[in-house]
Amino acid sequence: MKIVQAVGWYYPGSLGGTEVYVASLCHWLVAAGHDVLVAAPDATACEERTYEYDGVPIYRYPIPLQPTRAECQGTKPVRGAERFHKWLQQQHPDIVHFHTFVTGLGLAEVRAAKAAGARVIVTTHAGSLGYLCQRGTMIRWGKTLCDGVCSPSKCAACALQRRGLAKPLAWAIGTLPPVWGKRFHDTPGKLATALGMSALIAHNQAQQRELLAVVDAFVVLTQWAVEAVAANGAPREKLMCNRLGVSQTMPARKPFPEQRPTMLPLSVGYVGRFDAIKGVHDLARAIADVPRTLPLQVEFRGPTTSETERGVLRELRATVGDDPRVTFAPAVTTPAMPQILAGYDVLCCPAVCLEGGPTVAIEAHAVGTPVIGTRIGGLAELITDGVNGKLVRPGNWRELAGVLRAIVVDPHGTIDAWRRALPIARTMAEVTADYLALYVERH
């Protein structure tokens, strides 16, 4: 089969979890004898370009560095994306597999793939679950897990509160009927954006319905996401849960507690992006709340390639102050990941958004390191609370601080007990096998 993997960003300019996932999927598909290509928009380029990454041909098409509001919202075609549409017609792929939607890679491109005669698969890696959550996290008001059911007034209010409006004002503007909100669609400025938010949510709902009508399969990474998408009217026969897997061959697990019990000081690691939705601020606040007399060592590791990431890093440093127990280290390379994760007594993944993983949590389990996570998304389905790890409410740094104190006081009753009950890690080879079955399925 000729298979196109369409993704919002790709190597070498972007190094996120979705890119790792797609690269690994490509590796296994090529190993199975298939012809694989990757396509991605590029806001930094003026012309189309092709190159090779890890033996796979990559096609990049230019889109505007500063797209219009209509282009961002999907109400008008994105300039430059028509080149991708033409490229699809020239390639005649059997399968086009989309991974999360961004400007320049959306419903218009799904239609183009279908028009090119391809079987179309969509995997959503983001908390938006396609076009359902304008906030992108599935966290209601930024505090609690949403019920996942989209409506214009409810979701408009939540999106406006994230943009800085007080909740009462967000509620009031969110109740503006979508038919009225449409009047402000072409009006510039923040006020017009706010007044048109309910209309945007209604538009997103329409895009979600059309998306589910056009695609052959819609893949999510957790069972919770399956139920949420179905609750918004998606046909269940098109829905599939394909959970994340580790992307590389992991070494044997470190020795069990009977051979190597956990010793003080405890080593706690965070490995991931310096991004507020990853809950890094909550971990920093929790550490600051744990008395410095307790034997604890905490390491933050992540990339600092953008100004946003560097800004979050500065905020974390300010929160923990001169605490000698805390260190900051560079991002982990893929080959070094198993050794780094095995060196921690516990990994902390305090995400405050719906995630399918994160993959790093699965990799930690693979090497024998338990995980403290939040009760949401893939973490809630990967970790059995109190059995092979610990779950806390997303955004609740005080609860997280309590867990940190508990594992220091009793590492043998917590961490060592969790180590004995860690599940076998799923692999990308298994993920790929499930996709191949989906690729050849016919209705």
pLDDT in tens, 317-374: 999 999 999 999 999 988 899 999 999 999 999 999 998 889 999 999 999 999 999 9
- Within-domain flag for 58: yes
CATH code (residue 384): 3.40.50.2000
- Within-domain flag for 260: no
Per-residue pLDDT at 184: 78
As a whole number, mean pLDDT of residues 224-234 equals 96
Question: Both 283 and 406 in a single domain?
Answer: yes
- Within-domain flag for 251: no
Question: Can you give the residue range of the structural domain that contains 46?
Answer: 2-123+215-245+428-440
Tokens of 431: 């993920």
Position 288 confidence tier, pLDDT thresholds 50, 70, 90: very high
Question: Both 188 and 277 in a single domain?
Answer: no
Question: Both 74 and 176 in a single domain?
Answer: no
- Within-domain flag for 105: yes
- Within-domain flag for 60: yes
Question: Both 21 and 102 in a single domain?
Answer: yes
pTM metric for this prediction: 0.91
Residue 70 clears pLDDT 90, i.e. is over it = no
Per-residue pLDDT at 151: 95
Tokens of 122: 């969509």
Per-residue pLDDT at 59: 98
- Within-domain flag for 436: yes
Question: Both 235 and 91 in a single domain?
Answer: yes
What torsion do the CA atoms of 200, 206, 209, 211 make, to the nearest 10 degrees? Answer: -70
Which range is least confidently modeled, 69-83, 86-100, 318-332?
69-83
Per-residue pLDDT at 442: 53
A 10 A CB-CB count for 177 gives 12
Crossing angle between the packed helical segments 280-289 and 307-320, to the nearest 10 degrees? 10
Position 74 confidence tier, pLDDT thresholds 50, 70, 90: confident
Question: Both 434 and 292 in a single domain?
Answer: no
360-382 residue pLDDT tens: 999 999 999 999 999 999 999 99
- Within-domain flag for 273: yes
Position 261 confidence tier, pLDDT thresholds 50, 70, 90: very high
Tokens of 73: 């919202």
What is the Cα–Cα distance from 159 to 165, expressed in whole angstroms?
9
204-220 residue pLDDT tens: 999 999 999 999 999 99
Query: If you count them, how many residues does the chain have?
Result: 443
Per-residue pLDDT at 336: 92
Question: Both 193 and 219 in a single domain?
Answer: no
- Within-domain flag for 286: yes
Per-residue pLDDT at 52: 96
What is the Cα–Cα distance from 224 to 376, expressed in whole angstroms?
9
Question: Both 192 and 219 in a single domain?
Answer: no
Rg (CA), the chain: 22
Which range is least confidently modeled, 67-76, 124-133, 265-274?
67-76
Q: How many domains are there within the chain?
A: 3
pLDDT above 90 covers what percent of the chain? 85
Per-residue pLDDT at 305: 86
Question: Both 241 and 314 in a single domain?
Answer: no
Tokens of 398: 């005080």
A 10 A CB-CB count for 398 gives 12
Tokens of 163: 């943009």
Question: Both 162 and 271 in a single domain?
Answer: no
What is the Cα–Cα distance from 99 to 96, expressed in whole angstroms?
10
174-196 residue pLDDT tens: 999 998 878 777 777 888 889 99
Per-residue pLDDT at 443: 39
Question: Both 62 and 177 in a single domain?
Answer: no
pLDDT above 70 covers what percent of the chain? 99
Question: Both 313 and 404 in a single domain?
Answer: yes
14-56 residue pLDDT tens: 777 788 899 999 999 999 999 999 999 999 989 999 999 999 9
